[in-house]
Structure 1
Amino acid sequence: MKDCLSTDDLYFLSLVMSGAVELEKIEVDKSDRGVGILYVPARRALARNLMLLSDLRREVARQVEQLESGKDPLAQIDAEQ
């Protein structure tokens, strides 16, 4: 599996799976047929989680690129401030 994933993929997955990224809990209600229903609050939480993960993925890729080119991501962040 490691052969299929990039370095940024591995870092991203490590952050998410370790719990370093706090996602909103998504409550799925059951219909009469036992099928999960996502009401508006759950759909909004899902959208916020996806936006957070998307932003995080882009930032991880950017910082991994900096690391691989010998730059210090912390110095870059400090320089942006």
Structure 2
Amino acid sequence: MKVGGSYLGARVAGHSGDESLIIGFGMLPRAGVELVVIAGALTSRIIDQRLFSAVLALIIVSVLSTPPLLKHAIQRINS
């Protein structure tokens, strides 16, 4: 979702497709806020342990996948 929204925003702002992709991938590793929100929701019993674990796994995957995705997008511009 973040990648798509950032990509579209960059395209509207006049960036090329490859530049917009870099901007979109660059927005992925924003895990700090998400961790605070889901930890608070778990503590307040708004969500259960199962949902907490699923969201945490999603955060970990997005943080770990960002560097290779950015590298690939940057190489597309430089080639």
Q: TM-score range by the shorter chain?
A: 0.3 to 0.5
As a proportion of its length, which structure holds more helix?
Answer: 2
User: TM-score normalised to the size of structure 1?
Assistant: 0.44
Say which one has the larger Rg.
1
Q: Give the structure-2-normalised TM-score.
A: 0.44
